[in-house]
């Protein structure tokens, strides 16, 4: 597609996606209204929960003060803000500089805008593959995830999902330089940006192999896309290693200070198993129910990915979703954050979106509306309780 065709097509794509984006915005507004009401009833601040708690606070500190801040815990662990990738703080600082917004409100504004961009990107991917109805359902399913309220927080999930979705769309439509550039930016947003890099590399290699077998000479654009893709994640990891003096593996040491690592899921499995033991001051039955719910949730995620493979989703989506899922499920710490870490794996929702798109409109709307209400209530309860670690 030429630059002129791209400029002409963009407004058309936005018009096609506009009703879906309005539906997505309605779900997010519902979640925020329920959160505001719940927080007011409890005497807490919804604004603080969205902008100045947990990771949002760390991102704001990076935006305001730069890197170098750390907290030493009583057990010897060191929580360093080098664990947080820089693109969201950069955008917070930029928006704070050019507007009257505080750093925290700048982060919230970036996240809200990015969530709409992510919804549009998810729609574009699903529409490209399965049609408009499936695109609408995919976006609304993503909106009504139980932890969907994170999409409206000053977190990096929305920004990352937007970059990942549009990079995958660029791969599906043969825009190699766009895909590589967006992968670079995704790699500056979260460690899981390597999933987008892998999708670019796998798709480009497959394309080049097919071109070679067809007797056509290799083209430069896929190679340039491959070159661009890892520069973001790789550059930041190398910079952290240089800053800490620990070399290329310095970032892993930073993550170890947070007790984050990759152990193939052993710690998570042990965490679930402990829910079935009576060695707690609480009755074991509710804990066992939570354990069964976790097992069911993991089984559902695995089943969805297997279904994606069986439905022959394009390679970039399978590579991306597979790596995001593996990293989320097999991380060794912060088990309560796993649903949030899985949120960018939107290709897992496409089998459900296709099935929902095949039902009558009234039934699909009723189902999504009911789930949206439940998700809004859960999101308000969650943020006023344990919240996203």
Query: Residue 2 above 70 pLDDT?
Result: no
Over residues 125-129, the mean pLDDT reads 97
pLDDT of residue 14: 84
Distance from C-alpha of 232 to C-alpha of 236, rounded to nearest angstrom = 6
pTM over 0.85: yes
The DSSP bridge partners found for residue 331 are 262
Per-residue pLDDT tens over the stretch 161-195: 999 999 999 999 999 999 999 999 999 999 999 99
Lowest mean pLDDT among 65-79, 90-104, 174-188, 350-364: 65-79
Residues in the chain: 389
Greatest Cα-to-Cα distance within the chain, rounded to the nearest angstrom:
69
Beta carbons of 159 and 114 less than 8 angstroms apart: yes
- Angstrom CA distances, 344 to 182, 294, 295, stand at 15, 19, 20
Mean pLDDT of the residues in the chain: 92
In this structure, which long-range contacts are made by residues 74-79, counting pairs with CB atoms below 8 Å and at least 24 apart in sequence?
A: 77/257, 77/258, 77/259, 78/257, 79/257, 79/258
Over residues 136-152, the mean pLDDT reads 97
Query: Residue 202 above 70 pLDDT?
Result: yes
Specify the 3-state DSSP secondary structure of 71: strand
Distance from C-alpha of 353 to C-alpha of 311, rounded to nearest angstrom = 13
């Amino acid at each position: 597609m030429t630059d002129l065709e791209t400029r002409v097509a963009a407004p058309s794509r936005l018009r096609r996606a506009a009703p879906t984006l309005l539906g997505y915005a309605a779900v997010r507004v519902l979640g925020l209204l329920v959160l505001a009401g719940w927080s007011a009833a409890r005497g807490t601040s919804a604004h603080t929960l969205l902008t100045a708690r947990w990771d949002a606070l760390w991102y704001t500190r990076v935006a305001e003060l730069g890197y170098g801040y750390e907290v030493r815990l009583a057990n010897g662990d060191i929580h360093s803000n080098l664990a947080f990738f820089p693109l969201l703080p950069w955008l917070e600082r930029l928006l704070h500089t050019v507007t009257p917004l505080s750093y925290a409100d700048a982060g919230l504004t970036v996240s809200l805008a990015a969530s709409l961009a992510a919804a549009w990107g998810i729609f574009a991917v699903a529409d490209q593959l399965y049609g408009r109805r499936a695109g609408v359902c995919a976006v609304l399913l993503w909106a009504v995830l139980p932890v969907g309220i994170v999409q409206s927080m000053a977190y990096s999930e929305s920004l990352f999902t937007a970059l990942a979705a549009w990079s995958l769309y660029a791969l599906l439509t043969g825009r190699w330089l766009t895909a590589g550039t967006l992968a670079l930016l995704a790699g500056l947003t979260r460690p899981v940006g390597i999933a987008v890099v892998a999708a670019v590399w796998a798709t480009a290699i497959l394309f080049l192999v097919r071109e070679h077998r067809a007797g056509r000479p290799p083209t430069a654009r896929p190679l340039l896309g491959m070159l661009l893709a890892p520069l973001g994640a790789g550059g930041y990891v190398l910079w952290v290693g240089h800053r800490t003096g620990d070399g290329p593996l310095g970032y892993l040491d930073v993550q170890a200070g947070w007790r984050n690592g990759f152990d193939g899921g052993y710690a998570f499995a042990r965490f679930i198993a402990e829910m079935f033991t009576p060695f707690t001051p609480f009755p074991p039955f509710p804990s066992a129910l939570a354990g069964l719910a976790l097992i069911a949730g993991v089984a559902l995620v695995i089943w969805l990915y297997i279904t994606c493979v069986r439905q022959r989703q394009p390679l970039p989506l399978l590579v991306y979703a597979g790596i995001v899922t593996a990293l989320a499920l097999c991380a060794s710490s912060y088990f309560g954050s796993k649903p949030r870490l899985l949120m960018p794996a939107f290709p897992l929702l496409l089998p459900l979106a296709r099935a929902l798109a095949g039902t009558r409109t009234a039934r699909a709307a009723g189902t999504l509306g009911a789930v949206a209400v439940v998700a809004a209530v859960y999101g308000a309860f969650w943020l006023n309780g344990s919240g996203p670690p």
